[in-house]
Structure 1
Amino acid sequence: MVIHYKCPNCGADMAFDAETGKLSCYSCGREDDVETFPDEFRSAHFSENEAKEYHCKNCGAVLITDADTMATTCSFCGAGVVLADKLSGNMAPSKVIPFTISKEEAIKAFRKWCRNGKLTPKGFMTADRIKNITGMYVPFWLYDLNSRVQVNALCTKVRTYVRGDYVYTETRYYDVYRDINLDYLKVPVDASEKMNDELMDKLEPYNYQELKDFKTPYLAGYIAEKYNYDEEELLPRAKTKIENYINSYINSTITGYSSVRYKDKRIDTRNTHAYYTLLPVWMLYYDYNKSEHIFAMNGQTGKVVGKPPISFGKVVAWFGGVAGATFIVLKIIALMLGGGL
């Protein structure tokens, strides 16, 4: 089943507007609150896990999508369509963070980001070769995790003192025990096999206070994909993401000692709740020097991540400048001390 959102005033296609947060008609300017649209789509039957043919209700063109696509645009008339049968049952997202940055704002922010590159080639910094920009809702699991931590450590306090002609070193030993209960809320892990995990991790953080109950109109005009990995498959990765925070917290509770040696550390992390969530991402494709460079932008905060090309000449000049400045500083110090280099 294909869903189009038609303007009640003029019959033109409507799409979600990141600037206003409403379903908008770009023809007559009508705006509607997303929350006023019904949820009957949730009762639709989920299609088989294979590529499927749909027909655009706007122009009749054939839409061919892969098994993961939940929302797309018609290549012929540009209408935003939502594939409702991909959003039913356990495939229906629980939450969504809508886009707050429009396509025009995303391009402007990306060009500004390019100009700030200190070691990027001058030609890249002009940011005038954007090949394509796509607004995409990426599937994530947000985990609420609880960690029960029990730690045994052997700690020492060392004191050195002088008595008469002798220097004494006193070492005291302490058996330290900690029983810690930690809660982590909404730990994000992207669930799409097509997206680069490192790139998606770097887009964090999102403002989860802006999470909304999922409604299909949020997808109108954007591309959206369903998850490839369920919450159980990605739970180990969520646990890995909080390991450093757990260890840092443990270390913060054992202070004031000369040395700490952990004899036993037991960490039991459990999933208390997982939310299937769609998060907004602008994917930017940039042509430079006969190569395509891919960047991602947080569709809520505007944060840009990716690896821009590096100018070898700028790198050489930068290291040369650092080396020259270091030499000058050492020369001044030597002269002040009465020496020379």
Structure 2
Amino acid sequence: MVIHYKCADCGADMLFNSDSGKISCDSCGRHDDVNTFPKEFISREFSEDEAVEYQCKNCGAVIITDADTTATTCSFCSAGVVLADRLSGKMAPSKVIPFTISKDKAKEAFKKWCKNGRLTPKGFMTADRVKSITGMYVPFWLYDINSKGKVDAVCTKVRTYTRGDFIYTETSYYDVQRSIDLNYLKIPVDASEKMDDKLMDKLEPYDYSDLKDFNTPYLAGYIAEKYNYDDKELFPRVKSRVDRYVDSYIDSTTSQYSSTDYKSKRIKTKQKETHYTLFPVWMVCYNYNQTDHIFAMNGQTGKIVGKPPISKGKVAAWFTGIASVSMITLQIVAWMIGGGI
């Protein structure tokens, strides 16, 4: 099923506006609230082959998608369409963080980011080779996790003191036990096989104060993907992340000791609750030196991640500068030792 949101004033297609937070008409400027959009202006059309092929009711063109797409735009008339049948049942998100950065603002922010690269080639810093910039909602699972258990360790405190002509080192040993009961809320893990996990992790953090109950108008005008992995399949990944948090917390409780030797850690981590959520991401494809470089921007905070090309000349100059400063420092030290002051 294809959904179009029609303007009540002029009949044109409406898209979600990241600046106003409302669904908006570019033709006449009308704005409607996402949660109170008039149902009589929501156009729905069913397709015979709903697996990969839909028909745009706006212009009649066939929209071809892969099986994971839940929202897209018509390549002929640019109308934003939501494939509602792919957002039902288990595939229905419970939460969404809407875009707060428009495409124009994303472009400007990316250009500014490119110009700040100290070791990137000058040609890259001009930021004039942006091949595409695409706004998409990436599926994430937000996990509420509880870790509970007990820890046994042997810790030491070392004291050094002088008595007469002798230096003494005194080591005291302690049996240390810790009971922990930790809760972690809304730990994000991306659930799309298409997205680079490391790239998505680096886009954090998101501001959860902007979490909204999911509503399909938020997707109008953007691309959206459905999840490829459910919350059970991704639990080992989030557990590995939580294990690091727990270890860090346990270490912090024994920081007053000189050393800690853990005899046992009996920690049980449980999944309490999960929320299927869509996060806003701008994907930028930059063609430089006949190579496509992919970058991602957090569509809420503007944080940009990715690996830009590196200028060998700038790197060489940077190391030369460091070496020069080191040499000057050594000369000054030698001069001071030699009686220069």
- Would the aligned equivalents of 1:39 and 1:215 in 2 still touch at CA under 8 Å? no
- Would the aligned equivalents of 1:73 and 1:81 in 2 still touch at CA under 8 Å? yes
Q: 1:181 to 1:38 in 2, by over 3 A?
A: farther
List alignment gaps of at least 5 residues for structure 1. Answer: none
- Would the aligned equivalents of 1:49 and 1:67 in 2 still touch at CA under 8 Å? no
Alignment of 1:106-185 (within 5 A): 106-164=106-164, 166-185=166-185
Deviation at 1:163, TM superposition (A): 4.2
Q: Paired residue for 1:264?
A: 264
TM-score when normalising by structure 2: 0.94
Deviation at 1:285, TM superposition (A): 0.5
Could you tell which deviates more after superposition, 143-152 or 157-166? Answer: 157-166
Aligned equivalents of 2:39, 2:227: Cα separation in 1: 21
Aligned equivalents of 1:164, 1:12: Cα separation in 2: 93
List alignment gaps of at least 5 residues for structure 2. Answer: none
Could you tell which deviates more after superposition, 314-323 or 48-57? Answer: 48-57
Q: Paired residue for 1:312?
A: 312
Q: 1:162 to 1:236 in 2, by over 3 A?
A: same
Could you tell which deviates more after superposition, 155-164 or 274-283? Answer: 155-164
Could you tell which deviates more after superposition, 176-185 or 31-40? Answer: 31-40
Q: Paired residue for 2:194?
A: 194
Could you tell which deviates more after superposition, 149-158 or 278-287? Answer: 149-158
Deviation at 1:155, TM superposition (A): 1.1
Aligned equivalents of 2:66, 2:231: Cα separation in 1: 22
TM-score when normalising by structure 1: 0.94
- Would the aligned equivalents of 1:80 and 1:222 in 2 still touch at CA under 8 Å? yes
Tell me the alpha carbon deviations over residues 73-105 of structure 1, each in whole angstroms, 9 at most, x when there is no partner.
001000000001001111100000000000000
- Secondary structure of 2:28 counterpart: coil
Alignment of 1:21-36 (within 5 A): 21-36=21-36
Aligned equivalents of 1:237, 1:338: Cα separation in 2: 60
Aligned equivalents of 1:20, 1:66: Cα separation in 2: 31
- Would the aligned equivalents of 1:152 and 1:175 in 2 still touch at CA under 8 Å? yes
Alignment of 1:91-102 (within 5 A): 91-102=91-102
Deviation at 1:167, TM superposition (A): 4.2
Deviation at 1:259, TM superposition (A): 1.7
Q: Paired residue for 1:9?
A: 9
Of all paired residues, the percent bearing the same amino acid is: 71
Q: Tell me the amino acid that sits aligned with residue 301 of structure 2.
A: T
Deviation at 1:322, TM superposition (A): 0.4
Q: 1:246 to 1:50 in 2, by over 3 A?
A: farther
Tell me the alpha carbon deviations over residues 300-334 of structure 1, each in whole angstroms, 9 at most, x when there is no partner.
00000000000000000000000001100111111
Q: Paired residue for 2:85?
A: 85
Aligned equivalents of 2:267, 2:48: Cα separation in 1: 40
- Secondary structure of 2:5 counterpart: coil
Tell me the alpha carbon deviations over residues 94-147 of structure 1, each in whole angstroms, 9 at most, x when there is no partner.
000000000000000000000000000000000001000100000000001111
Deviation at 1:233, TM superposition (A): 0.3
- Secondary structure of 1:320 counterpart: helix
Q: Paired residue for 2:237?
A: 237
- The reply to whether residue 62 of structure 1 matches residue 47 of structure 2 is no
Q: Paired residue for 1:204?
A: 204
Aligned equivalents of 1:166, 1:211: Cα separation in 2: 65
Q: Paired residue for 1:292?
A: 292
- Would the aligned equivalents of 1:51 and 1:64 in 2 still touch at CA under 8 Å? no
Q: 1:87 to 1:38 in 2, by over 3 A?
A: farther
Aligned equivalents of 2:280, 2:28: Cα separation in 1: 26
Aligned equivalents of 1:11, 1:38: Cα separation in 2: 13
Aligned equivalents of 2:60, 2:284: Cα separation in 1: 30
- The reply to whether residue 37 of structure 1 matches residue 37 of structure 2 is yes
- Would the aligned equivalents of 1:47 and 1:85 in 2 still touch at CA under 8 Å? no
Could you tell which deviates more after superposition, 110-119 or 141-150? Answer: 141-150
